[in-house]
Amino acid sequence: MDFFPWLLPSFIASSICIFLSIRIWRQRRLPATKATYWILLTVFIWAFCQFSIILINDFFWIVILAKIQYIGIVFAPVAWFTLTMIMLNKSHLVTPKFIIALSILPVITLAQLLLQRPLMVLLPINSN
């Protein structure tokens, strides 16, 4: 395995997310911990998949991990906004319907990204 300097940020972010998730899970009865846990989970998915993409050389697994990485990318803003609402003492607005409404656009984006052919846009069209 070769060392890549751009491997460190993803590894450090993944490690921090795992460490904080374990620490926060113990205090999950506090109001903002569930939202913080979801942020850490989405960032972990994002960072760990990026870390794995750098390490793996097989194109098939790179595409699979890139698609899994999108789950963390599109749901991180939903978790962040939910935490913001809770921290601003607007937790009465954070209901399951509210979170579902916030998740509609990320689900549409995720469906579009996951259902398209891998790197379809980047493949050259053979004009022969």
Helix intervals (H) in the chain: 7-25, 33-55, 59-87, 96-115
Contact 11, 51 (CB under 8 A): yes
Domain residue extents for the chain: 7-115
- The pLDDT score that the predictor gives to residue 119 is 52
Cβ neighbors of 10 (< 8 A, separation 6 or more) are: 47, 48, 50, 51, 54
Residues with Cβ < 8 Å from 65, sequence gap 6 or more?
Answer: 49, 52, 53, 56
- CA gap 75, 87 in Å, rounded: 19
Q: What is the pTM of this model?
A: 0.79
Q: What is the pLDDT of residue 2?
A: 62
Look at residue 46 in the predicted model and tell me its pLDDT.
92
pLDDT per residue of the chain (128 residues) written in tens, 0 to 9: 566 777 888 889 999 999 998 888 888 788 788 889 999 999 999 999 999 998 888 888 888 898 889 899 999 999 999 999 988 988 888 888 989 998 999 999 888 877 776 555 554 555 55
Model pLDDT, residue 47 = 93
pLDDT of residue 113: 78
